[in-house]
């Protein structure tokens, strides 16, 4: 199973039974990156994906998927959406824009994408729903956005750190039991912003570094210079492969296209 990012796919594989963590500070594009992987696997590989969003609505997730697959700017799609919902005056979009939006919508219509946006959800809910969808739809990938929002229902006086460790353990067990990869996104602490070199490290997980190192098979960090420096011209994002149980530890470059809700394979000169 491939992510759709050429340079990343030359360094890692999404293997069955693995727990993969995508982490960064806020606003680096974790959700976008996860949705780009979802699009490739569901649309190009024709493989079922279950996506849990614990932060955003189904409507917003669907909107982001349409934008990234139609390659129409977010502002133009918002005009289209308003026109369809509120019956406003038809927006002055180009014929190509209308065609692209129609293509994006049609492409997603019968795609094997299953969205669960009924937050809050506990780890028990996630495991139960995942097993159900595996039986009913034979999903081959689970993506969860993001770990800090997963509830823990056990009536124990555990610290949140211990709860996150147990959540990670159960997600690793789920990946092994269903024999599919599980991807989870995670926030990082403020520690990178307090260093001269703000690139993320495994020590920057705000909770349960033990659980992350114990149960994850791969750890990917997203980092973009423009969020920490005065260099506002570059949209190049570093994808740091910090842990890889069966391949390279490496850093690759991605192009960040926020207006299209998309990352791309970067061309760096």
Question: Which CATH number does the domain 6-265 belong to among 3.50.50.60, 3.40.50.300, 3.90.180.10, 3.30.450.20?
Answer: 3.40.50.300
Q: According to the model, what pLDDT value does residue 269 have?
A: 43
55 catalytic? Reply is yes
For the chain, state the CA radius of gyration.
19
* Alpha-carbon separation of residue 12 from 3, 16, 133, 156, 176 (angstroms): 9, 13, 26, 38, 18
List, as one string, the DSSP characters of 76-128.
Answer: HHHHHHHHHHH--PPP---HHHHHHHHHHHHHHHT-SEEEE---S-BHHHHHH
Spans of all domains in the chain: 6-265
Contact 19, 76 (CB under 8 A): no
Q: What is the pLDDT along the chain (269 residues), one digit of tens a residue?
A: 999 999 999 999 999 999 999 999 988 999 999 999 999 999 999 999 999 999 999 999 999 999 999 999 999 999 888 888 777 778 888 999 999 999 999 999 999 999 999 888 999 999 999 999 999 999 999 999 989 999 887 666 678 888 899 999 999 999 999 999 999 999 998 888 888 888 999 988 876 677 888 899 999 999 998 655 555 556 889 999 999 988 889 999 999 999 999 999 876 54
Q: According to the model, what pLDDT value does residue 234 have?
A: 65
Catalytic residue among 45, 55, 177, 238: 55
- Say how far apart CA 148 and CA 188 lie, in whole Å: 10
Q: Return the SS3 of 66.
A: helix
Q: According to the model, what pLDDT value does residue 90 have?
A: 82
Which residue in this structure is represented by tokens 């594989």?
Answer: 13
Q: According to the model, what pLDDT value does residue 168 have?
A: 95
Buried b / exposed e along 250-265 (16+ C-beta atoms within 10 A): eebebebbeebbbbee
- Minimal CA–CA distance to 26: which of 235, 184, 187? 187
Q: According to the model, what pLDDT value does residue 67 have?
A: 96
Please give the angle made by the CA atoms of 226, 14 and 143, to the nearest 5 degrees: 70
* Alpha-carbon separation of residue 71 from 65, 169, 252 (angstroms): 10, 38, 23
* Preceding amide of 124 cis, omega within 30: no
- Say how far apart CA 187 and CA 204 lie, in whole Å: 9
Contact 76, 55 (CB under 8 A): no
Q: According to the model, what pLDDT value does residue 227 have?
A: 56
């Amino acid at each position: 199973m491939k992510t759709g990012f050429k340079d990343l796919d030359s360094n890692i594989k999404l293997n069955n039974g693995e727990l993969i963590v995508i982490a960064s500070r806020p606003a680096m594009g974790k959700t976008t990156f996860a949705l780009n992987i979802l699009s490739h696997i569901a649309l190009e590989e024709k493989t079922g994906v279950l996506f849990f969003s614990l932060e955003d609505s189904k409507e917003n997730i669907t909107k982001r998927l349409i934008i990234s697959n139609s390659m129409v700017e977010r502002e133009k799609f918002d005009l289209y959406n308003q026109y369809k919902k509120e019956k406003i005056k038809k927006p002055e979009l180009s014929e190509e824009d209308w065609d692209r939006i129609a293509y994006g919508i049609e492409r997603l219509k019968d795609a094997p994408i299953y969205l669960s946006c009924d937050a809050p959800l506990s780890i028990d809910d996630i495991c139960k729903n995942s097993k159900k969808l595996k039986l009913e739809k034979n999903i081959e990938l689970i993506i969860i956005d993001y770990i800090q929002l997963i509830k823990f229902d056990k009536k124990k006086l555990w610290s949140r750190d211990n709860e996150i460790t147990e959540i990670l353990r159960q997600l690793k067990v789920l990946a092994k039991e269903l024999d599919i990869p599980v991807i989870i996104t995670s926030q990082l602490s403020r520690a990178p912003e307090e260093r001269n070199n703000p690139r993320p490290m495994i020590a920057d997980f705000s909770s349960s570094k033990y659980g992350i190192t114990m149960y994850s098979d791969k750890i990917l960090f997203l980092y973009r210079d423009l969020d920490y420096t005065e260099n506002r011209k570059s949209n190049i994002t570093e994808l740091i492969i910090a842990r890889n149980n069966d391949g390279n530890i490496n850093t690759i470059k991605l192009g960040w296209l926020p207006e299209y809700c998309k990352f791309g394979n970067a061309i760096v000169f």
